[in-house]
A and B are shown apart, each in its own frame.
Chain A
């Protein structure tokens, strides 16, 4: 009896930890390895079962030779650059404005309104913006024409379509940045601003000299989280443009999806997925190393 009890004690942690590890092993590790395995086979959804065979790096070659895919990499990177800059910039601005305002009921209400876009599913927000960006009856084109511009085809031309996708993604992610920065700003003691005010510093100077340096770690945290998130962009593109016009708004994610499920080429799609994974890993490790360095300084 005593022996059994001791044995139970020694393996007790397993009972707690095992269920989660089973999930992670079978549904995260195994499929990942399986994706790598598939990327070396000529697997097509249209082929009869079991006829796929090993073809070496052929899928990788055909992915890299795919001009639309190469273009999708550069557009995904450009998109991330703009979407991250805009959402982090406006998020920070809103957080500063909220912190500087008197903490009244009205301001708290404004804050809960400002959080709403984050709660909306990306598919739904993209649908909403698709209505707003409507070519003929959309209010955005109406406003443009009101100020003597010409109506823009938001899905028919490359530049407007790309702009629209950046706007949709930024709209949904500004609240996230704002919330983190709101938390960050509360870590700065009021006295610092007061003494700066006595020294005659302007609002902008105290923002640049006090706020920014003190929340630098938070900024790099938000930037790296947002960067990883925006590299995965998928929903707004599928809803707003479906990759068009002529593939210029395809992201790495949508290309991978289309290779496997529209053109039924699972092998090629898996190779794209592996390349996607490597790009994400490189970017995350680089940002991680850059932010670590800053912390050491």
Chain B
């Protein structure tokens, strides 16, 4: 409380928040307007009438419900599988010393530096041959790989923080290595696992480039691909529908942001500093 506090910074903050949130506010209100309310000058900053017509139409005619389900199922399965594989690897790297450990860790960091856009072309050709194109499973595999390096790195650092005595006493009690991992180490790093899950979920829920290349049917498309299709298909873009689609797409991320804010903040900082 001893910090200098002056209302100027508070006023500035409120002002910035206002500007920052305006695009979101505008999207949500546009989604609730009728075409007649959208194409007017001056624009209606506060909608005179509220209707859910755009949401109904975008779900019924533009497959938004399907896209939403695809996005959720792909992101959730990516998160769960990444978590299992990465916590395994993190534990292995943290607990054991073995030949090739340094090299493997170096490989993990190096792969993290490679931008995912570079993989668009090889994935397309390889998946075409493996019949994994236009498949949710194919995209999930890609997302798991893309998220593994950071997830391994973070989970290893979380296991590193556990004191050695825990492992030793468990070993004396006759636990097998797998039991130590599952019953003792894993429960202790749960907060860390939550952090990793949020990062992985957000990254796969928001990803666009690879999904654009690998998915082309409405039955497999994720939300970003579906929305980009709406933007490109219709030259005279119906703003109300686009806004409704965007609003639907924002729901899960906002729920995460507002309920697990502490973890989100921790995750972003850990991801940047520890990586």
Contacts and interface: CB of A to CB of B under 8 A. Distances in A.
A68 B89 CA distance: 44
Interface string A121-141: 111110111111010111100
A139 B27 CA distance: 11
Nearest to A182: B265
B79 to A, nearest CB: 15
A197 interface: yes
Given A24-B148, A99-B3, A190-B3, A176 B268 contact: yes
Contacts of B209: 234-235, 253, 257
A107 B13 contact: yes
Contacts, number: 280
Nearest to A121: B206
Contact of B20 (A28, A103, A113, A129): A113
Contacts of B45: 139
A128 B246 contact: yes
Interface stretch (A30-38, A81-89, A158-166, A208-216): A30-38
B12 A97 contact: yes
A36 B178 CA distance: 40
A203 B86 CA distance: 45
A232 B117 contact: yes
Interface residues of A, number: 95
A190 B3 CA distance: 7
Which of A23, A96, A123 counts the most chain B CB atoms within 10 A? A123
Contacts of A149: none
Nearest to B84: A19
B17 A114 contact: yes
Contacts of A116: 20-21, 24, 254, 257
B114 A131 contact: no
A14 B2 CA distance: 53
B122 to A, nearest CB: 4
* Majority DSSP secondary structure for residues of A touching B: helix
B124 to A, nearest CB: 8
A121 B249 CA distance: 8
A120 interface: yes
Interface stretch (B57-65, B186-194, B222-230): B222-230
Interface stretch (B46-54, B90-98, B160-168): B90-98
Given A23-B144, A119-B256, A234-B209, A110 B122 contact: no
A274 to B, nearest CB: 8
Given A34-B126, A139-B43, A115 B231 contact: no
B269 A257 contact: no
Contact of B228 (A193, A228, A238): A238
Given A12-B177, A114-B20, A180-B272, A131 B111 contact: no
B202 to A, nearest CB: 7
A193 B125 contact: no
B96 A19 contact: no
Contacts of B2: 190, 194
A60 to B, nearest CB: 15
A139 B126 CA distance: 45
A107 B124 CA distance: 47
Interface string B19-54: 011111011001000000011111101000000000
Given A99-B3, A110-B17, A266 B121 contact: yes
B1 to A, nearest CB: 7
A115 B26 contact: no
Given A24-B149, A113-B21, A139 B26 contact: yes
A120 B93 contact: no
B257 A131 contact: no
Nearest to A226: B272
Given A113-B20, A234-B209, A228 B113 contact: yes
22 contacts: A13-B98, A28-B111, A31-B123, A97-B16, A107-B13, A113-B21, A115-B264, A123-B206, A128-B27, A128-B243, A129-B23, A131-B30, A132-B23, A142-B43, A194-B2, A228-B113, A228-B115, A234-B209, A253-B209, A261-B120, A266-B125, A270-B121
Given A20-B85, A261-B213, 16 more contacts: A20-B86, A24-B107, A28-B145, A35-B119, A98-B13, A114-B17, A119-B253, A124-B249, A128-B26, A137-B239, A179-B269, A232-B117, A238-B212, A257-B120, A257-B212, A266-B125
